[in-house]
């Protein structure tokens, strides 16, 4: 438990196979479900985010990553129904914690900044929305946050409007906005999708620096396993609204135990050029929500699918230092190239 956590802070039940020595989670998600018109698109997710870690959430488009990220902030879109628990350091009142203990770096940086107010004023307003501090103190915190993300001449730039910033500086300003109140958790939803390679690395570096500077955990939503490889401590691999595999990123990527993770990995270009496999990566596409059968959602695309995979959805089970939801997990060959 963190030293300043309330004494009564409930600790959720650990996962089967979880390291009992692991620090108490900051964020605990248990059986999270999100549906639209009765169709579940996030289907019973459970995971923990620990203090100070970078937690990657990865999967193909439509896997439910964004909705999961938004559910962590109590911000699911209108029309969505959620169930299950998200506990942030013992609190279920996510709306009250938003901007204070948990904050969002959205996909679209521009949408996070108002065009009609100077950037510094927007940051200062964010400070004063959660802390009783003077205007002068809020303004100073705003400038400090801009400095932390590497905005040159921050005191002057704080008085400028978003359109006076370059694209890269705007992206940094949004990260400053998300970290100005030194939250426990920063959720970044595909923060680099629209960026070129160089700027992408820059943003990921700034996020990592902020994680260190304010001691926050980072939930990094991405469709890019390479980003996970380089920037996450642990990873949740999502498929069709469920967890395929959850565990230490290095271990999961070095030796995937879910065929879906193996397929995603195999489709990454290798560092020395062409893709690592001869067959097209992950043939087929994910099932549409509402069109799921009774078995494993990945079975129609899985080279290892057998009878139970077509009749029974697998539950996450501990294996080799992570949780894997796959009936064939023990049979996923090593190296994965052998079967792909």
Ligand X SMILES: Nc1ncnc2c1ncn2[C@@H]1O[C@H](COP(=O)(O)OP(=O)(O)OP(=O)(O)O)[C@@H](O)[C@H]1O
- Applying CB under 6 A, the residues found at the interface with ligand X are 36, 41, 59, 61-67, 77, 79, 223, 289
Q: How far apart are CA 139 and CA 123, in angstroms?
A: 8
Quick one: 47 or 165, whose CB is closer to ligand X? 47
In this structure, the strands spanning 54-58 and 39-49 are unpaired
Quick one: 200 or 223, whose CB is closer to ligand X? 223
Listed in sequence order, the residues at least 6 apart from 38 whose beta carbon sits closer than 8 Å to its beta carbon are none
Largest Cα–Cα separation, the chain = 67
Report in angstroms how near the CB of residue 64 gets to ligand X at its nearest.
4
Quick one: 68 or 181, whose CB is closer to ligand X? 68
Q: How far apart are CA 210 and CA 228, in angstroms?
A: 17
Report in angstroms how near the CB of residue 134 gets to ligand X at its nearest.
40
Quick one: 67 or 329, whose CB is closer to ligand X? 67
Report in angstroms how near the CB of residue 6 gets to ligand X at its nearest.
32
Report in angstroms how near the CB of residue 300 gets to ligand X at its nearest.
17
Quick one: 105 or 142, whose CB is closer to ligand X? 105
Report in angstroms how near the CB of residue 122 gets to ligand X at its nearest.
26
SS3 string, 313-328, reads CCCCEEECCEEECCCC
Task: For residue 25, give Cα distances in angstroms to 114, 201, 213.
Answer: 34, 28, 20
Quick one: 73 or 169, whose CB is closer to ligand X? 73
Report in angstroms how near the CB of residue 227 gets to ligand X at its nearest.
13
For 204-316, strand residue ranges (E) read 217-222, 234-239, 242-248
Q: How far apart are CA 147 and CA 157, in angstroms?
A: 10
């Amino acid at each position: 438990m963190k030293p300043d956590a309330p004494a009564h802070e409930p600790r959720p039940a650990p996962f089967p196979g979880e390291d009992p020595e692991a620090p108490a989670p900051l964020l605990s998600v248990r059986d999270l479900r999100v549906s639209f018109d009765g169709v579940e698109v996030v289907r019973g997710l459970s995971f923990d985010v620990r203090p100070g870690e970078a937690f990657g959430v990865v999967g193909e488009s439509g896997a439910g990553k964004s909705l999961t990220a938004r559910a962590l902030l109590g911000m699911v879109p209108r029309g969505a129904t959620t169930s299950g628990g998200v506990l942030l350091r013992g609190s279920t009142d996510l709306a009250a914690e938003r901007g204070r203990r948990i904050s969002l770096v959205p996909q679209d940086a521009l949408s996070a900044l108002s065009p009609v107010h100077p950037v510094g004023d927007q940051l200062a307003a964010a400070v004063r929305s959660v802390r009783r501090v003077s205007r002068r103190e809020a303004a100073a915190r705003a400038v400090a946050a801009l400095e932390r993300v590497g905005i040159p001449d921050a005191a002057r730039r704080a008085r400028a409007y978003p359109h006076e910033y370059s694209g890269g500086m705007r992206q940094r300003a949004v990260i400053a906005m998300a970290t100005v109140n030194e939250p426990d958790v920063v959720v970044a939803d595909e923060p680099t999708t629209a960026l070129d390679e160089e700027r992408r690395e820059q943003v990921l570096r700034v996020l990592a620096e902020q994680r260190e500077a304010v001691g926050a955990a980072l939930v990094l939503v991405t469709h890019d396993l390479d980003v996970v490889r380089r920037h996450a401590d642990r990873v949740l691999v999502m498929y069709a609204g469920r967890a395929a595999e959850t565990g230490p990123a290095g271990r999961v990527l070095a030796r995937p135990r879910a065929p879906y993770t193996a397929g995603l990995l195999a489709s990454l270009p290798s560092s020395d050029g062409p893709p690592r496999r001869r067959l097209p990566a992950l043939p087929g596409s994910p099932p549409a929500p509402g069109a799921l059968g009774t078995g494993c959602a990945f079975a129609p695309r899985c080279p290892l699918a057998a009878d139970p995979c077509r009749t029974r959805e697998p539950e996450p089970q501990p294996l080799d230092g992570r949780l894997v939801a796959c009936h064939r997990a023990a049979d996923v060959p090593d190296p994965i190239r052998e079967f792909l």
